Amino acid sequence: MVTIITIYSILAFCLVFSFWKNRQKTFKAFKIATKGFLKTAPSLFMLLGIVGLILGILTPETIERLIGKEAGFLATGVAAILGAITLIPSLIAFPLAGSLLRSGATIMTISAFITSLVMVGTITAPMEIKSLGKKFTLMRNGFSFLGALIIAAIMGVILQ
């Protein structure tokens, strides 16, 4: 809700300003927007299909079973991979992480899950490749995964 309000307020402000300054340029902006949208639309549909599948299969209960109680590095690795391949909204991810923590998962495992969830986007990679190229995407996500593991290790040690 906050997101929608913010984005539409910014849009309204910019549009009013743009129309007032130069009508022609504003229409041109709309044209560019339509063109950009049509180019991205197919990959958006794909994204929808894949997100549906992954979240349908990996329910919070399944994730809890996979990384819940068993401590150790294996659980942390599994958590990092699960975080990388899923795309869970923060309103679901953080409560889930909180309940995992209470049910016995280690801080390191939870950090690995959360950091790789927010930093690595396997599902969104096809879209990222389309906009920014293969090299950029692979590098950014690869380094981010590595970074997520490092962050998890540091957090596990500090917050123990």
* Interaction residues for other proteins, span 29-68 (CB under 8 A): 29-34, 36-37, 39-40, 44-53, 55-57, 59
Number of residues located near other proteins, criterion CB under 8 A = 74
Q: How far is the CB of 77 from other proteins (least distance, A)?
A: 18
Q: Which of 70, 77, 106, 119 binds other proteins (CB under 8 A)?
A: 119
DSSP 22: -
Site for other proteins in 57-116 (CB under 8 A): 57, 59, 90-91, 94-95, 97-98, 101, 107, 110-111, 114-115
> What does the alpha-carbon distance between residue 66 and residue 123 come to, in Å, rounded to a whole number?
20
Rg (CA), the chain: 20
User: Residue 76 in 3-state DSSP?
Assistant: helix
Q: Using CB under 8 A, which of the segments 64-72, 77-85, 133-141 binds other proteins? A: 133-141
Q: Are 113 and 99 in contact (CB under 8 A)?
A: no
Of 16, 23, 25, 73, the one binding other proteins (CB under 8 A) is 25
Q: Give yes or no for residue 140 binding other proteins (CB under 8 A).
A: yes
Cβ neighbour number for residue 41 with a 10 Å cutoff: 10
- What is the smallest separation between the CB atom of 63 and other proteins, expressed in angstroms? 13
Least distance (Å) between residue 64 CB and other proteins: 15
Length of the chain: 160
3-class secondary-structure state, position 77: helix
Q: What is the 3-state secondary structure (H, E, C) of 89-103?
A: CHHHHHHHHHHHHHC
- Least separation, in Å, of the C-beta of 73 and other proteins? 19
21: how many CB neighbours lie within 10 A of its CB?
Answer: 9
